[in-house]
């Protein structure tokens, strides 16, 4: 996909800043303005009282052409996003790429507890210094690299002091105008993994990547992701959240229309492919609205859609930490790398004919003809063949 003309605050391909450069790939920096006190009235008024499109962009803030920044400047659109996400008082919300804070204000207006991840240091500094965002916990970093589940667990510990302490997170060791006693820990990210920024003894080595945390069952699905996502990382971030962040049970995000259609596509539709299948393994997606180009400043060259993604319950989804999920992903990537070919050709040398027979999947099929259950059966059959086990089912037990 071509570079996103609306990418505002995150770029998955950006390297982490070098150590000692004054900014880690993820530096919480604390809540904006002060502690969690206050009723958010200032933030609420700034959304309700916006009389012109430019009123939601702070004076002196200019979109960066190099980052393709386009700010949402229509308060009605912001309230619409919050309403579609059913945000209510006390809801715990993760926002990726708050930018100028326009959507953040709308979330505060709904009395949500907000944790926001921002990559652009200049914008983040303005947000941190703004008293309107005293109740927001900010994290500096790339959402494609940060240990999101751990960050949310830390936010939960701040919001619920009775929660058990997180032993794998390092608390801040000082206070100040931009770092309060309840702030999130600092993290540094790089291409090979993530670690607390001050513990130099636990740096990942080589190209290893830490396994996703198992999550706390009592927290599963307790968060919402509500964001105007950078388009260039929208699809991989959504899939990553489904696979690695069990605390997030629902997402309502603004993305490029083409991306929304691909993620929510049904089998048999022209847009159906690997992305929709990956989402279907763990959740469900649907387009819940369209967004006019006129709500952005400057006006982008692409159309936008609002996408809702909901995590499936454990009994309906595949375990993203299990071998079956990894096997399905392997087969999907291999098959869709040459999607016009029949499976027996695209998976040649990997899957033999016996597996297709056992899985009740014709080898003459093309990848877009298979649904989630087809892929799961094929993955099981391939795993059995690789381990030397006998076939578990035959043509006589194929689903109708």
Listed in order, the ranges of the chain carrying CATH 3.40.50.150 are 27-198+215-311
Other beta carbons less than 10 A from residue 76's beta carbon: 9
Distance CA 314, CA 222 (A): 14
- 159-213 pLDDT, tens digit per residue, is 875 544 333 333 333 233 232 223 343 333 332 233 333 333 333 333 333 343 4
In this prediction, residue 287 carries a pLDDT of 98
In this prediction, residue 31 carries a pLDDT of 62
In this prediction, residue 230 carries a pLDDT of 82
More confident residue, 267 or 56: 267
Class of domain 323-397: mainly alpha
Distance CA 250, CA 336 (A): 27
Q: What is the mean pLDDT of residues 122-130?
A: 93
Mean pLDDT computed over every residue of the chain: 75
**Tokens of residue 291, six digits:** 């967004």
Longest dimension (CA), the chain: 70
Of these ranges, 150-159, 175-184, 278-287, 307-316, the one predicted with the greatest mean pLDDT is 278-287
- 329-364 pLDDT, tens digit per residue, is 999 999 999 989 999 999 999 999 999 999 999 999
Listed in order, the ranges of the chain carrying CATH 1.10.8.100 are 323-397
Confidence of residue 50 (pLDDT cuts 50, 70, 90): very low
- 209-249 pLDDT, tens digit per residue, is 334 344 444 457 899 999 998 887 899 999 999 999 999 99
Architecture of domain 27-198+215-311: 3-Layer(aba) Sandwich (3.40)
In this prediction, residue 68 carries a pLDDT of 56
What is the pTM assigned to this prediction? 0.74
Question: Quick one: CA dihedral 71, 74, 80, 82, positive or negative?
Answer: positive
3-class secondary structure, 169: coil
């Amino acid at each position: 996909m071509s570079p996103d003309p609306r990418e505002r605050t995150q770029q998955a391909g950006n390297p982490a800043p070098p150590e000692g450069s004054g900014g880690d790939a993820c530096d919480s920096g604390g809540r904006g303005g002060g502690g969690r006190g206050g009723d958010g009235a200032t933030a609420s008024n700034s959304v309700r009282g916006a009389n012109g499109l430019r009123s939601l962009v702070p004076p002196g803030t200019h979109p960066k052409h190099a980052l393709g920044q386009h700010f949402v400047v229509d308060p009605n659109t912001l309230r619409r996003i919050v309403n579609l996400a059913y945000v209510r008082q006390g809801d715990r919300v993760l926002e990726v790429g708050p930018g100028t804070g326009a959507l953040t204000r709308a979330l505060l207006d709904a009395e949500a507890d907000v944790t926001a991840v921002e990559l652009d240091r200049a914008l983040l500094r303005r947000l941190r210094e703004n008293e309107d965002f005293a109740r927001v916990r900010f994290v500096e970093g790339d959402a494609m690299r940060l240990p999101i589940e751990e960050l949310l667990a830390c936010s939960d510990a701040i919001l619920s002091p009775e929660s058990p302490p997180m032993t794998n997170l390092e608390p801040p060791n000082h206070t100040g105008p931009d770092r309060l006693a309840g702030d999130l820990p600092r993290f540094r990210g790089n291409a090979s993994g993530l670690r607390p920024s001050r513990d130099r003894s636990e740096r990942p080595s080589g190209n290893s990547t830490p396994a996703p945390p198992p999550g706390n069952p009592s927290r599963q699905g307790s968060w919402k992701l509500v964001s105007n996502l950078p388009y260039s990382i929208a699809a991989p971030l959504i899939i990553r959240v489904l696979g690695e962040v069990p605390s997030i049970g629902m997402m309502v995000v603004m993305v490029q229309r083409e991306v929304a259609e691909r993620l929510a596509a049904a089998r048999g539709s022209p847009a159906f492919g690997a992305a929709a299948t990956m989402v279907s393994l763990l959740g469900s997606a649907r387009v819940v609205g369209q967004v006019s180009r006129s709500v952005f400043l400057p006006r982008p060259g692409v159309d936008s859609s609002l996408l809702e993604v909901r995590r499936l319950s454990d009994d309906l989804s595949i375990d993203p930490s299990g071998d079956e999920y990894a096997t399905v992903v392997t087969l999907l990537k291999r098959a869709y790398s040459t999607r016009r070919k029949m499976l027996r050709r695209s998976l040649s040398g990997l899957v033999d004919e016996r597996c297709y027979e056992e899985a009740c999947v014709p080898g003459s099929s093309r990848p877009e003809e298979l649904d989630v259950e087809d892929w799961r059966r094929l993955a099981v059959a391939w795993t059995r063949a690789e381990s030397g086990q006998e076939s578990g089912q035959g043509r006589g037990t194929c689903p109708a």
